[in-house]
Amino acid sequence: MIKWLDKKQGSSKTGSGQGASGPRFGRYSGGWATLRKRLQAEPGLRVIDAGSTSPTNINYLTSLGHSVYMADLVHDACTGDWKTGTDEDGNPIWNLDGFIGSCLEFSGKTFDIVLLWTTLDYLPEPLVAPVVNRLHDAINPGGSVLAFFHTRTQGEETVHCRFHVTPTDEVEVQLGEPFPIQRAFTNRSIERLFSGWSGHRQFLAKDSVSEVIMTR
């Protein structure tokens, strides 16, 4: 993805492109195009945005009559004090209940849409399945999760980005905090991770990032 950003940056005169304050560049998203139609047709939905806080996202979604819950899971996981020690093999022990309870506590509310973006590619491994399971519990039947997945773990396109929605079929991509990618998912591993869900729809992309809408 970052190679595409660099290509666009060459013709841009806005900012340096580094960090969350850099310029944004539009990227066609078949997943967002599909999800946006539902958001426009059904007012009053509850939405979780699991990326870096974006006033653009909040303003757009609330203008359609939806409520938005922000949960910057990658930042919270990578900067929070969630490790309680190490096991006998030297692997970190994570306070999973503490992380889920702090970052995905909804006070009994349930949701209809989750904008998960590339979150699962950057979360530490022990947190991935618990996050997906918690979302499954918190989403209403028929609810949707839009997730992006890198198809490789090396290369400049694996840089951590933030995403801003638009009223078009594009999302705006912006360089985010420099968290390292942890994994690349295959179609099979995505299906296993979301095995308790009722179905999914995949959208192919040309920038080493695939898109999936999972249905609760």
Q: Which helix (H) or strand (E) holds 137?
A: helix 125-138
In tens digits, what is the pLDDT along the chain, a chain of 216 residues? 555 455 444 433 333 333 456 899 999 999 999 999 999 999 999 999 999 999 999 999 999 999 999 999 999 999 988 988 888 888 889 999 999 999 999 999 999 999 999 999 999 999 999 999 999 999 999 999 999 999 999 988 899 999 999 999 999 999 999 999 999 999 999 999 999 899 999 997 777 899 999 999
Asked if residues 78 and 160 have their Cβ atoms less than 8 Å apart, the reply is: no
Burial category of 84 from C-beta neighbours within 10 Å (exposed 0-12, middle 13-18, buried 19 and up): exposed
List the domain boundaries for the chain: 2-9+25-215
Distance, in Å, from the CA atom of 112 to the CA atom of 185, rounded to the nearest integer, reads 24
User: How many residues in the chain?
Assistant: 216
Q: What is the pTM of this model?
A: 0.89
Topology of domain 2-9+25-215, CATH? Rossmann fold (3.40.50)
